[in-house]
Amino acid sequence: MATPRKLYIKTYGCQMNVYDSERMAEAMNGYERTEDPAEADMILLNTCHIREKAAEKVYSELGRLKPLKTAKPDLKIGVAGCVAQAEGEEIMARQPLVDLVVGPQSYHRLPQLEAKVAKGEKALDTDFPLKDKFEDLKRRPKAKRGPTAFLTVQEGCDKFCSFCVVPYTRGAEVSRPADRILQEARDLVEAGVREITLLGQNVNAYHGHDGGLAGLIRALSEVDGLDRIRFTTSHPNDMDDALIAAHGDCEKLMPYLHLPVQAGSDRVLKAMNRKHTAESYVRLIERLRAARPDLALSGDFIVGFPGETEEDFEATLRLVEEVRYASAFSFKYSPRPGTPAAERADVDEDVKSERLQRLQALLSAQQSAAQEAMVGKEVGVLFEKPGRMPGQMVGKSDHLMAVHAEAPQHLAGQIARVRITGAAPHSLAGELV
């Protein structure tokens, strides 16, 4: 029997890229995954274009791979994902060691691209195919999995925020048919998954079920053995009444929501083309918390957007103080070539840094307060793996907070009731009830 070739995938960016990397590996017949690039026969960099200098980081990584290619000339190197979509042929021109480039909507064609590379040719595919790539991807293997999994249900975005490259790298909004999602969910549960996070660039714009995302969540709630459902990332304008109601009456939908606002100034929000106001966002949060009072809220913030004044930034601080976040991600604005905001005058870098420090201090204080508020409460914890200390297990609470407790290892993959006894900035300590 032939020895399987080795595939190493390095994943950058969001949960959707994690999911995509899994599907890429499944598509590559005759390969098995390795965590050691030195033993790989093929290396794929699954890239993200959201963070600052994303493309340059990819080129730096390719430079570090050059000695491996020199030592092993038959090694194949590919670049996938959003940087691949944005840069295309430029990647091969700048780094001749790259054998294939494939965009995020074309990775189902990896076997054909790999066959082309095996013949000594270069392979490039950054098309937006009319046919849904998920139709061509084979059914997921039923090998044993951990208790949590990502499941992409929607891709692309039609919002065209002025700072964002997603509409250009992922394309228009597309929703997967509900029946295929339900089958994939059942396969995941059969493999040992207890919690599924539904993914999309704009996941609550999902329209592959008659009832939208709320309808899909209710259908998934009927899957035996699936105990927890989450979804990310959402846009405030697509948070409809049905989805708000689901947060209140769907038991398997966890009390955690990532709902980016980006800024608290209406002037800045308009410049960002967000098409919502700070007031409408706050009122939306009020409705969500009325439906689910214990909802843990997460958000995204961009500091120093072109034209942001001190008054604009203080409006963001006021919004944060009013909303109260359990966790959040905040970044200094950095221009993305090809986006409308990139053509505008940038805010001074020192001003950005000072504002980011102030915002992060406030968000960190709120996160610590949210963690401290859990002490003394009982929560459900899905244990995933042993902790650092002997006899300890770690997992996630209903509110997606990391929890560690003394527990037997056989609880891995199980949900147990835990009383929270202590809080740190990024984790909770507990004891089994």
- CA dihedral of 160, 165, 171, 175, whole degrees rounded to 10: -70
Q: How many CB atoms lie within 10 A of CB 274?
A: 23
**170: confidence class by pLDDT, cuts 50, 70, 90:** confident
* 139-234: CATH number: 3.30.750.210
- The CA distance from 371 to 394, in Å, is 16
The reply, when asked if residue 82 is annotated as ligand binding, is: yes
5-125 and 139-234, same CATH topology: no
Query: Would you state the pLDDT for residue 129?
Result: 64
**Is 157 marked within a binding site?**
yes
Class of domain 378-432: mainly beta
pLDDT at 85 over 90: no
Question: pLDDT digits over 32-84, tens only?
Answer: 999 999 999 999 999 887 666 777 888 899 999 999 999 999 999 999 988 88
In the prediction, which pLDDT does 130 show?
55
How high is the pLDDT of residue 2?
Answer: 64
pTM of the predicted model as reported, rounded to 2 decimal places: 0.85
Q: Say what the pLDDT of residue 369 is.
A: 96
For the domain made up of 255-373, give the CATH fold. Transcription Regulator spoIIAA (3.30.750)
End-to-end CA distance of the chain: 51
Q: Looking at residue 165, what is its pLDDT?
A: 86
Q: Calculate mean pLDDT across residues 272-282.
A: 98
- The top-level CATH class assigned to 5-125 is alpha beta
The structural domains of the chain, with segments of one domain joined by +, span: 5-125, 139-234, 255-373, 378-432
Average pLDDT of the chain is 92
pLDDT exceeds cutoff 70 at 206? yes
Check the annotation: does 250 bind a ligand. no
Residue 340's identity, in one-letter code, is: P
